[in-house]
Amino acid sequence: MTQRPEVAWSALAPKWDTSGAPWNQPVAHRLIELARLKPGMVTADMGCGAGAVTIPAARIVDPASVTGIDTSAAMITRARQRAEADGISNVMFLCGDAAEPELEPGTYDAVLSSMVMVYLRHRALALSAWRELLRPGGVLAFSWVMAEDKKWKPAYGAVDAFLPPQNQWASYRPNWAVPEVEAMLPPGMEISTIAEAVTTRFDSMEHWWASSLTQAPALAWSQLPASDRDDAKRNAFAVLEGLQANDGSLERTRTVCYTIAHAAGGRA
């Protein structure tokens, strides 16, 4: 029996992105930088998770606000707690479908989404819905993985081999090409995509394993039969031994794309 997406994300929320192996945070900060947010820009963050984009964006656009939307109530709770702990008050978090946001059209200067597209079923429809939220000249910006680190594929495959046949998640996802992604956007937008290498460092194989259980692979690996988990881990480590540096550390480099699209009209 497979988990519903909101159940899987909620189970992951308390430990999401807590391993100390940077991935979501640097990608989120770079997306914000490339979107060129400025004070006063009313912003929405689609699939906000624990607030990797929402909270730093709120610091920049203040006194304007940032609205974060996520399907997981547990993720929304974590994001609110983070914002409160950081003294960020110009944020609002809503539990809902980021692909079909119940927000007022034509009222946002920026709509951002980091590492969410791969989880959406109807991506072009979501992008059209996000475009409708923009004021003239507003910016729609989102990040996505164009190329995985091929050296790592066997390690993830070693674990995935133990997953039950009905598993709906994948720990190592297929890649897209820039023209394919840009074609999903509504017509009439000024589009550019920037591709950059993002390297994540792990102190050891154990650090990688722990980190994977706090990020997207955990959506799949949470469904590993308990009797197979040790074997799955052992098989993955056997692959990773060949990738370790002399100090036991590992590096995984992915090519991340940042697609920036402006609506017609005066720039926000």
CA distance to 97, 151, 171, 218, per residue, from 157 (Å): 31, 11, 8, 14
Residue 19 binned pLDDT confidence (cut-offs 50, 70, 90): confident
Cα Rg of the chain, angstroms? 19
Which pTM was predicted? 0.93
- The residues spanned by each domain of the chain are 5-262
Over 50: is that where the pLDDT of 167 sits?
yes
Per-residue pLDDT, averaged over 203-221, amounts to 93
The pLDDT value recorded for residue 38 is 97
For the chain, how many residues are written? Answer: 268
CATH of domain 5-262: 3.40.50.150
E strands in the chain: 43-46, 66-70, 91-95, 108-114, 134-147, 190-202, 250-262
Q: What is the pLDDT of residues 4-13, one digit of tens each?
A: 556 778 888 8
Over 80: is that where the pLDDT of 172 sits?
no
